Amino acid sequence: MSAVICTREMLRTTIAILRRGGERRHERVVLWLSTAAVRTPASIVEVYEPEQITEIDYFKLPPASMQALMDHLRSTRRRIVAQIHTHPGRAYHSEVDAEWAIIRHVGALSLVLPHFAATTTPENFLTEVMTYEYSPAGNWDHCSNSGLDARLTVTT
């Protein structure tokens, strides 16, 4: 099981970026990066906003953006532990999301927020977000956000 630790400040940054997309009624995606060492729980050290093409119901990273991301990871020696994106309505990991997932390694986390994150705050993040983990069988399994199975811990 993958688990990540992130600060309230990082949640604030994440929500602010995602809402900027929502103001245009577009989805938006950010990536949570940690250091290269594989550790559980992984501490998030950076909220990365890739160049992206967005619409009301999708986001895509053009090839140049993927290249910039790879260059950034290489030069900072970081890795992607989670992608977080918004939906216009309900939050779930859709088939399109599976097809366009930026990360697809076992233990990768995909977090989805509803309503363009318009109502999300650092305080209610864990109740609004839907969390999925990429399984060895190649599925995005829905995960609990509470109890011992919780994938995300928020620190102050």
First and final C-alpha spacing in the chain: 23
Least distance in angstroms from the C-beta of 56 to Zn ion: 11
CA angle 59, 61, 67 (to 5 degrees): 165
102 lies in the site for Zn ion, by CB under 5 A: no
Binding mask 69-98 for Zn ion (x = CB under 5 A): -------------------------x--x-
Least distance in angstroms from the C-beta of 40 to Zn ion: 25
* Interacting positions 11-70 with Zn ion (CB under 5 A): none
Least distance in angstroms from the C-beta of 74 to Zn ion: 27
Report in angstroms the alpha-carbon separations of 74 from 23, 68, 79, 134: 32, 10, 9, 23
Size of the site for Zn ion (CB under 5 A): 2
| 39 neighbors 78 (Cβ within 8 angstroms) | no
Question: What is the distance between the alpha carbons of residues 48 and 62, in angstroms, rounded to a whole number?
Answer: 16
Least distance in angstroms from the C-beta of 127 to Zn ion: 19
Q: Coil, strand or helix: which one is 128?
A: helix
Output 93 or 151, the one with its CB closest to Zn ion: 93
Positions in the binding site for Zn ion (CB under 5 A):
94, 97
